[in-house]
Amino acid sequence: MFNWPDAELWPSVTVEGGSGRAVRMAAGQRVGVVNTHGQQVVDTWAVTLTGERYLSMSHTRLAIGRLSPTAGDVLVDDQRQPILALVCDESPGGHDTLIPACDARRYRALGFQGYHPSCADNYAHALAGTGLGASARTPDPLNLFMAVDLSAAGELALVPSAAQAGARVVFEALQDLVLVVSACPQDLVPINGADGPRRVQLFIEGPASGTALGA
């Protein structure tokens, strides 16, 4: 299994709470995601460089045989091809794969008036800065560190993240891709704890092409 401490030597990118970033990755390249202050949900997407295929939660759930990936799992795209490997998970796990990205309609439904940042907007803006162009839709994200309780009756409950400060995961790209992350700006439902949203940190393995592209 991958040895985490090496990742602290990789180039680092800060993702401010409520914002998103995109990172171009070559096949074989790794990225660490650190939940700096804990309890921050990080919506995560991977898109191939042609923009034609994307990390798919429904296909991944079938491929891994579980609702949530664990270390060693290979996540797949919408054509069932391996796209990301979760090679290290030093968190409570249980990363959500069921809930869509927050968006303007979600905040309106929660009673918010005016513009509220959202993971859907963060995804669109970050992707637009990569040269892949705007996204016509938002694929369902892998919601890193997000806790959703599933009752025996099949009921879902969104609860505060159990991720401790410093909780961290590492992915390896299995195709050339753009990784997009959003430090979820949700502050009307307590998924990010009482003090969210807060910044997270990416550590991107060389070469230098693995630099942040979008803001």
Least distance (Å) from Zn ion to the CB of residue 161? 12
Helices within the chain (DSSP H only): 57-64, 104-109, 119-128
- For Zn ion, the binding residue among 126, 132, 184, 200 (CB under 5 A) is 184
Closest CA to 86 of 99, 97, 75: 75
Whether 94 and 110 have beta carbons less than 8 Å apart is answered as no
Residue 102 is a binding residue for Zn ion (CB under 5 A): yes
- Taking the C-alpha atoms of residue 140 and residue 159, their distance in angstroms, rounded to an integer, is 19
Least distance (Å) from Zn ion to the CB of residue 114? 17
Segment near Zn ion (CB under 5 A), from 6-14, 26-34, 81-89, 185-193?
A: 185-193
- Token digits of residue 99: 């809930």
User: What is the DSSP code (8-state) at residue 172?
Assistant: E
How many CB atoms neighbour CB 173 within 10 A? 24
Segment near Zn ion (CB under 5 A), from 13-21, 57-65, 79-87, 180-188?
A: 180-188
Closer of 102 and 177 to Zn ion (Cβ): 102
The residue count for binding Zn ion (CB under 5 A) is 4
Residue 42 is a binding residue for Zn ion (CB under 5 A): no
Residue with token string 């290979």: 74
Closer of 175 and 192 to Zn ion (Cβ): 192
Residue 85 is a binding residue for Zn ion (CB under 5 A): no
Segment near Zn ion (CB under 5 A), from 26-34, 59-67, 69-77, 113-121?
A: 113-121
Residue 200 is a binding residue for Zn ion (CB under 5 A): no
Segment near Zn ion (CB under 5 A), from 74-82, 96-104, 124-132, 200-208?
A: 96-104
Closer of 184 and 213 to Zn ion (Cβ): 184
In one letter, which amino acid is 178? Answer: V
Closer of 119 and 213 to Zn ion (Cβ): 119
Residue 119 is a binding residue for Zn ion (CB under 5 A): yes
- Taking the C-alpha atoms of residue 187 and residue 120, their distance in angstroms, rounded to an integer, is 15
How many CB atoms neighbour CB 4 within 10 A? 16
Closest CA to 29 of 195, 202, 154, 159: 202
Residues found near Zn ion in the complex (CB under 5 A): 102, 119, 184, 186
